[in-house]
Amino acid sequence: MENLYEQSALRLLQAADEIRARLAGEFSAVHGISVNEFFVLLHLERATKHRLPRVELAKRMHISASTITRMAAPMEKIGLIERHTDERDARLAFMVITDAGREKLSETRATLAKQAGYLFDERWDEATLNQFSTELHRLVSGSVSNLT
Amino acid sequence: MENLYEQSALRLLQAADEIRARLAGEFSAVHGISVNEFFVLLHLERATKHRLPRVELAKRMHISASTITRMAAPMEKIGLIERHTDERDARLAFMVITDAGREKLSETRATLAKQAGYLFDERWDEATLNQFSTELHRLVSGSVSNLT
DNA sequence: ACAATACGCTTGCATGTGCAAGCGTATTGC
DNA sequence: GCAATACGCTTGCACATGCAAGCGTATTGT
């Protein structure tokens, strides 16, 4: 591997794949939601007034607006989110996280923390992890998808 | 964000999403292949004898065997890989990278290095990137998917 | 004011993917 | 040696996703 940029990018993609695969299994088995549904809840909770227009959420998640539309239906059905309209602009269909959605999010985040713990704790000490997190933050801080 | 494990995992996933989205666009536009096809070529080139059984490749890429089967057909059609059989075990269908596949891989890796350069160079100095890469290596080193 | 444009959302279609079943080939156990 | 089992691959089905077109609503330009 001759190029440090290439090497780092590949390792980053692989590490993320590993984590995502683990989480997909755990989230599905334990909480009955997908990783993307988890991210929907997370984005909504952190948004102003705990709500976002569909298009804005799509941008933050790097997915298309049609996917958001299609994800919203079942999540509304099981009560994790609600659909609100805007008084000023009838085009907007806000997605709002419900109390049940917050509860689900909280449980799922605990699973995430546990799984991440397994992965990180046995490999890095706290100082390393702190630095790693800070470095990652520089990568995502300018992004619309930044959650942290 | 109260949990450092959670925070790091989220940032890692987001950073990977960003990079993958960029690469998907570039790879498709410039080289006419998907990110997953790129990874197929990469795994094959690094494998012993530049070939792998479908099941083994599936494991390394965290995707199902059926997906491998379906990705193989068009890649054979455009000559990036070939299908070889095993003399000893007729069940095995090796995927082998061709010279054309190596050429495509080489061009695509250059694009990867360039894109990763844009991302990393303006944010980190070389020492930081080196450390980051080393830390990531600890995360993926035990994994079947490890390429680096 | 009103036509033209832009925007947000949804839907039809095409594609990518996983799961489970099926098929053919090796390996194991008796 | 042969039946039972395991393994590798493919295929049918279901589901997720992106793109482009369409619909209704706001905004802009004249």
Residue located via tokens 């199902």? B64
**A142 Cβ contact list (under 8 Å, min separation 6):** none
The reply to whether residue A11 touches residue B145, judged by beta carbons under 8 angstroms, is no
Q: What's this model's pTM, rounded to 2 decimal places?
A: 0.93
* Minimal-distance CA residue of chain B relative to A43: B10
Using only C-alpha atoms, chain B has a radius of gyration, in whole angstroms, of: 17
B1 pLDDT more than 60: no
Tell me the mean pLDDT in the region B121-146: 89
Point out the least confidently predicted range of A30-39, B98-107, B136-145.
B136-145
Tell me the mean pLDDT in the region B26-50: 96
B62 pLDDT more than 60: yes
* Minimal-distance CA residue of chain B relative to A139: B15
Per the structure, the residue whose CA is closest to nucleotide D16 at C1' is A67
pLDDT digits (tens, 9 = 90+) for B78-117: 999 999 999 999 999 999 999 999 999 999 999 999 999 9
Tell me the mean pLDDT in the region A28-57: 96
Q: What structural domains does chain A harbor?
A: 17-140 (1.10.10.10)
B47 pLDDT more than 90: yes
Bases along strand C below 7 A from a protein CB: 7-12, 16-20, 24-27
* Minimal-distance CA residue of chain B relative to A39: B10
% pLDDT > 90, chain A? 87
Contact residues, chain B, for A21 at CB < 8 Å: 62
The reply to whether residue A11 touches residue B124, judged by beta carbons under 8 angstroms, is no
Chosen from A132, A146, A147 to mutate, greatest number of chain B CBs within 10 A: A132
Tell me the mean pLDDT in the region A109-126: 93
Point out the least confidently predicted range of A37-46, A97-106, B90-99, B125-134.
B125-134
Q: Which residues pair with A95 in a beta bridge?
A: A52, A83
% pLDDT > 70, chain B? 99
